Amino acid sequence: MNSCLFCRIVRREIPAEIVHETADVLAFRDVRPVAPTHVLVVPKRHVAAVREAEDTDGELLGQVMIGARDVARSLGLAAGGYRLVVNNGEEAGQTVFHLHVHVLAGRSLAWPPG
Ligand code: 5GP
Ligand code: ZN
C-alpha cells in the first residue's frame, strides 16, 4: 500500500468529508477551503498529475471531470457557476501528487488568478 495522502483517503485510512463517490472517483471537501465551496475530485487509481498521465488514462481523466460536474450539480453550483482548477507541478502550486480537480464556488472568482 502506498502512503500517498489521497490514496489513504480513498482507502478510508484518513477521514474526509465525502460528498460524492462512484466506482472510479471520490470527491471530498478540502481541509483548507479557499472558497465557500471547495471540493477535491480524485480518481481512485493513483495518477500523480495530468502531466504524468498516459495516453490510456483518457477514461480516468474524463471520469474525474464528470465527477466534478456531478459534485457541482448535487451541491447546486451549476446555476451560479463554478471554477475547476488542476494544478500541475510545484510551480503551478501542486502540493499533493495525486491528480485532483478543485471545484470552487460560492464567491466571485477573479480572472486571471493571482
Ligand atoms: P494542490 O495544492 O496540490 O493543488 O491541492 C491540494 C489540496 O489538498 C489543498 O487545497 C489542501 O488544502 C488539500 N489538502 C491537503 N491535505 C488534506 C487532507 O488531509 N484532507 C483534505 N480533505 N484536504 C487536504
Ligand atoms: Zn495517490
Contact predicate 10/24, CB 8 Å = no
Give bridge partners of residue 28 from the DSSP assignment.
Answer: 18, 40
Full domain range(s) for residue 87: 5-105
Q: How many domains does the chain have?
A: 1
Question: Cell 472510479 appears where?
Answer: 24
For residue range 71-97, what is the model confidence (pLDDT) as tens digits?
999 999 999 999 999 999 999 999 999
CA 92 to ligand 1 centroid distance, Å:
14
Report yes or no on 81 lying in a domain. Answer: yes
Which protein residues touch ligand 1 with a CB less than 6 Å away? 5, 14, 16, 28-32, 40, 87, 93-96
DSSP 70-87: HHHHHTT-TTT--EEE--
Report yes or no on 112 lying in a domain. Answer: no
**What's the pLDDT at 1?**
78
Q: Which of 26, 31, 99 to mutate to test the pocket of ligand 1 (most atoms within 8 A of CB)?
A: 31
CATH number of residue 38's parent domain: 3.30.428.10
Q: Which amino acid is at 69?
A: R
Atom of ligand 1 nearest to the CA of 97: 3
**What's the pLDDT at 23?**
98
Q: Which ligand is nearest to the CA of 100?
A: 1
Catalytic positions are 100
Low-confidence ranges of the chain (pLDDT < 70): none
